[in-house]
Structure 1
Amino acid sequence: MLRGLYTAAAGMVTQQRRHDTATQNIANLNTTGYKQVDSVSHAFPEVLISAMSGGTVKPVGRMNTGVFAEQSVSQYLQGDLIESGKPVDFALSTDLQVADPATGANINFDGSGKYITPDGEVIYRPQAFFTVQDNDGNQLYTRNGSFTVNAAGEVLSAGGFKVLDSNGNPLILTGPQDKLKVDGQGNLLNPATGRPSGTRLGISVVTRPQELVRDGNGVFHADDVDNADIRFANGTDNLQVRQGYLENSNVDATKVTVDMNAAYRAYEANQKVIQFYDSSLQKAVNEVGRI
């Protein structure tokens, strides 16, 4: 009986976390560059059930002992681009490709941006991010291109981090903001000639985006840069920088609303099960115990 009580309690905890994830997504429907988070649940390890009769043990089968919310997975799908008209606002439009190790042809990723090989290996679509630097010199990654410029000419992200160029150095503007021009590959143009000035926005290509860790405020970091396979973009990458635009949140309002309601109903169901077990235990203690 207690096993069922623990299973229902684990279900309540899992549904609460699922509900929290859905409400977080809804709260960030209009957050620039926000990437939707999906909660992934897994079963506890199964246990082998056996029956003893006449001194012999006969296997009955396996029984699941509950569920738990294992992790939250970010969905890096492209969000809609919204025109802001500000010269220091930028958005990334990407369609980075990966060759199939077996055939050499470009992989056709599914709607969530992943592909499963016949051998069961999961390959995720590479993603591009603006590269910023915190006060400790650590490189961080964001899709929020709502930048500002301080009195020293340093370009800062929405979180106050320094925006980096393609050499990993803080990006510094020497001219007025309204004269800033950037081409589709992120090259800053010379206002007089209209040609690339030799400075480029630091756009990082993350080959394994599933290795990124969400820090909050639309910023990610990599615990292991080599494992995430991060590099600065080059002219051959299929990406485009849009000046005067911002990328909206990629949250699917309909989906997360359904998820939130489903989590609420599942939480209620597990709560009823716990109430049933509590009533049964009460009878066992107060009534059966008298006999």
Structure 2
Amino acid sequence: MIRGLYTAAAGMVTQQRRHDTATQNIANMNTTGYKQVDSVSHAFPDVLISAMSGGTTKQVGRLNTGVFAEQSISQYLQGDLIESGKPYDFALSTDLLVQDPATGENIVFDGSGKYVNADGEVIYRPQAFFTVQDNEGNNLYTRNGSFTVNAAGEVLSSGGFKVLDAAGNPLVLTEPQDNLKVDGQGNLLDPATGLPSGTKLGISVITKPQELVRDGNGVFHADDADAAEIRYADAGDNLQVRQGYLEGSNVDATQVTVDLNAAYRAYEANQKVIQFYDTSLQKTVNEVGRV
């Protein structure tokens, strides 16, 4: 009976975390560059139940003792592009291609940006991010291209981080700021000639985005850059920089609402189970024990 209490309590904690995740997604439906988070739940290890009779052991079956919210996974699907008309707003439109090592053909990813090949290997769609740098010199990655320029000409992200160029250096504008023009590959154009000036936005391609860690405020970092396979974008990458646009949130409002209600109902069901066990224990102590 006590095991049932623990199982129901574990279910309540898991559903609370699912509910919190869905609430976070709903709260960021209008946040620029926000990527939806999905909560992944797993069961506790199964317990094998056996019965011994006459010196022999008979397997009765397996019992699961609860569930827990193991992790939260970010979905890096492309969000809608929203025109702002501001010269320091940028959005990335990407469709990075990957070939299956076994067949040599381009991989068709599912709706979550994942592909499982014939050998069971999971491959994630590579993603592109603007590269920014914090005060400690750590590289961070964001899809929020709402930038500003300070008095020194430094380009800053909405969180106050320094935006990097393709050489990994902080991007500093020397030309008149009102004339800033950027082409589809992220090259800053010379206002006099309209040709690339030699400076380019630092756009990082992350081959294994599942290695990224969410920091909040729309930025991510990689604990191991080599494991994430991070590099700067080149001309062969199928991506485009859109000046005067911002990428909206990729939250699926309908699905998140369903998840929110499902978590609430499951929490309520586990709560009823605990109430039932509490009543049963009360009867055991007050009535059965009296006999």
1:244 correspondence with 2:244: yes
Q: How does 1:268-287 map to 2 (within 5 A)?
A: 268-287=268-287
Deviations along 1:141-172, one digit per CA (max 9) or x if unpaired, are: 00000000000000000000000000000000
**What's 2:45 paired with?**
45
Q: How does 1:247-258 map to 2 (within 5 A)?
A: 247-258=247-258
Partners of 2:154 and 2:228 in 1: CA distance: 28
Letter in 1 for 2:106: N
Task: Quote how far apart the aligned CAs of 1:12 are.
Answer: 0.3
Letter in 2 for 1:220: F
**What's 1:117 paired with?**
117
**272-281 vs 57-66, greater mean Cα deviation:** 57-66
Deviations along 1:127-152, one digit per CA (max 9) or x if unpaired, are: 00000000000000000000000000
Partners of 2:119 and 2:286 in 1: CA distance: 57
**What's 1:94 paired with?**
94
Partners of 1:31 and 1:131 in 2: CA distance: 19
Partners of 1:255 and 1:175 in 2: CA distance: 46
**60-69 vs 143-152, greater mean Cα deviation:** 60-69
The size of the alignment, in residue pairs, is 291
Task: Quote how far apart the aligned CAs of 1:57 are.
Answer: 2.6
**What's 2:61 paired with?**
61
- Backbone CA RMSD of aligned residues: 0.7
Letter in 2 for 1:4: G
1:163 correspondence with 2:199: no
Task: Quote how far apart the aligned CAs of 1:224 are.
Answer: 0.3
**Does the residue aligned with 1:197 lie in a helix, a strand or coil?**
strand
1:72 correspondence with 2:78: no
Deviations along 1:9-51, one digit per CA (max 9) or x if unpaired, are: 0000000000000000000000000000000000000011011
Q: Which runs of 5+ in 1 are unaligned?
A: none
Partners of 1:200 and 1:140 in 2: CA distance: 17
**What's 2:204 paired with?**
204
Partners of 1:101 and 1:46 in 2: CA distance: 36
Q: Which runs of 5+ in 2 are unaligned?
A: none
**What's 2:184 paired with?**
184
Task: Quote how far apart the aligned CAs of 1:287 are.
Answer: 0.7
Q: How does 1:7-22 map to 2 (within 5 A)?
A: 7-22=7-22
Partners of 2:52 and 2:286 in 1: CA distance: 30
Partners of 1:277 and 1:197 in 2: CA distance: 72
**Does the residue aligned with 1:92 lie in a helix, a strand or coil?**
strand
Partners of 2:55 and 2:89 in 1: CA distance: 76
Partners of 2:53 and 2:178 in 1: CA distance: 85
Deviating runs (4+, > 2 A) in structure 1? 52-57
Partners of 2:144 and 2:174 in 1: CA distance: 23
TM-score by length of 2: 0.99
Partners of 2:177 and 2:104 in 1: CA distance: 44
**What's 1:148 paired with?**
148
Given that 1:213 and 1:222 are in contact with CA atoms closer than 8 Å, whether structure 2 keeps it comes out as yes
Partners of 2:55 and 2:117 in 1: CA distance: 49
**Does the residue aligned with 1:256 lie in a helix, a strand or coil?**
helix
Letter in 2 for 1:166: A
Letter in 1 for 2:158: A
TM-score by length of 1: 0.99
Partners of 1:269 and 1:95 in 2: CA distance: 42
Partners of 1:29 and 1:177 in 2: CA distance: 31
Deviations along 1:233-265, one digit per CA (max 9) or x if unpaired, are: 001100000000000000000100010000000
Partners of 1:140 and 1:44 in 2: CA distance: 35
Partners of 1:127 and 1:165 in 2: CA distance: 18
**What's 1:23 paired with?**
23
1:127 correspondence with 2:139: no
**What's 2:175 paired with?**
175
Task: Quote how far apart the aligned CAs of 1:54 are.
Answer: 3.4
Deviations along 1:163-183, one digit per CA (max 9) or x if unpaired, are: 000000000011222200000
**Does the residue aligned with 1:290 lie in a helix, a strand or coil?**
coil
Given that 1:88 and 1:177 are in contact with CA atoms closer than 8 Å, whether structure 2 keeps it comes out as no
Task: Quote how far apart the aligned CAs of 1:55 are.
Answer: 4.1
Letter in 2 for 1:193: T
Deviations along 1:176-208, one digit per CA (max 9) or x if unpaired, are: 222000000000000000000000000000000
